[in-house]
Amino acid sequence: MTRHGYFGPRGTFTQMALRDWLADDDAAFAEAVPFATVPAALDGVRTGEVDVVMVPIENSVEGGVSATLDALNSGDPLSIQGEVLVPIKFVLAARAGTQRADINGVGSHSHAWPQVRAWMAKELPRAAYVPALSTAAAAEALASGEAQPFEAAVCAPLAADVFDLEVLAHDIGDNASAVTRFVLVGRRGLVPARTGADKTSVVLFQHDDHAGGLLQLLEQFAARGINLTLLESRPTGAAMGSYCFSVDFEGHLDDERVAEALLGLRRVSADIRFLGSYPRADGQASDVVRTAADESYASAREWLRGLRG
């Protein structure tokens, strides 16, 4: 049986993503292992403690999740198995009996706070922000009964449920359509079969400056009619201005145009890390121009074989 892990603790949006992924497999969900940090979760796969882990990778408001991108970009390579989109609906949760007037401090994760700033400014203008390790950690702290520098938490509905808190306000996010994308990460070499509605993720390192360098990399996609769905720059840490690029694009390792783009990128980039090909959460099939279809590649290769006798 596949052993699952996730970036925890219980009650996070990441656990909600895992529940979505596992659908009705209650047993697997119950046995899933929470990890305290994203790097720890990925290491859990590397050491074999679990088979796959769910981690957040991109938020429609806050952008790429740096901790995840950086942890995927270094260390032993892993392979993304799939993705889940979770609408981000924050609640304001507190111990039973708490009134809004009692709230002087609000605990939450530093990524969540900017997403509820407008609601807070209007509804609880006097409340101070208190940083916590995660949204669920803030909820758990309240549930512990110990003294805290805050009376309420901004967290996922699941956290209020798990830690038995009262929800004082629902859906308090400033951006009602905020969504976070999570990926299920497994061991290197595991590549799910092509479905026709797939995505591939890579990390690209360029040789020199940003100008020509990135342009040359992007042309490898454009020349094969491949659409990008994400381009996130991340510093390599080597020096100010030294960046790598996390890139998601349409298609699967087994598509000819993807294979050729990967070959080209491998040649012209300073380095490339393959992070996986996997079905898209939205099931949208890739839009492929005729000259980039597998048949077009096959027919060209047959022609070349003919020339070479």
**Site string (123-142) toward its own copies, x via CB under 8 A:** ------x-xxx---------
Among 228, 284, 285, 294, binds its own copies (CB under 8 A): 228
Nearest to 38 by CA among 107, 138, 111, 90: 111
Question: How far apart are the C-alpha atoms of 56 and 50, rounded to whole Å?
Answer: 17
* Number of residues in contact with its own copies under rule CB under 8 A: 75
Among 5, 9, 264, 279, binds its own copies (CB under 8 A): 264
- Residue 75 binds to its own copies (criterion: CB under 8 A): no
Q: Which of residues 31-50 bind its own copies (CB under 8 A)?
A: none
- In the block, tokens 């659908």 appear at 23
Which stretch in 18-26, 45-53, 153-161, 224-232 sits in contact with its own copies by CB under 8 A? Answer: 224-232
Helices (H), the chain: 13-22, 26-31, 38-46, 66-73, 117-123, 135-143, 157-162, 211-222, 256-268, 294-307
- Residue 181 binds to its own copies (criterion: CB under 8 A): yes
| Token pair recorded at residue 110 | 């530093």
- Region at 97 (left for phi over 0; alpha for psi -120 to 50; beta for the rest): left
DSSP for 266-284 reads HHHSSEEEEEEEEE-TT-P
- Residue 226 binds to its own copies (criterion: CB under 8 A): yes
- Residue 285 binds to its own copies (criterion: CB under 8 A): no
Nearest approach, Cβ of 28 to its own copies (angstroms)?
Answer: 26
Nearest approach, Cβ of 95 to its own copies (angstroms)?
Answer: 19
Q: Which of residues 147-176 bind its own copies (CB under 8 A)?
A: 175
Rg of the chain over Cα atoms, rounded to whole angstroms, equals 22
| 154 beta partners | 92
- Residue 13 binds to its own copies (criterion: CB under 8 A): no
Nearest approach, Cβ of 30 to its own copies (angstroms)?
Answer: 28
- Residue 209 binds to its own copies (criterion: CB under 8 A): yes
- Residue 121 binds to its own copies (criterion: CB under 8 A): no
Among 2, 195, 227, 284, binds its own copies (CB under 8 A): 227
Question: How far apart are the C-alpha atoms of 221 and 26, rounded to whole Å?
Answer: 41
- Residue 309 binds to its own copies (criterion: CB under 8 A): yes
| Token pair recorded at residue 151 | 């009376």
CB nearer to its own copies: pick between 31 and 282: 282
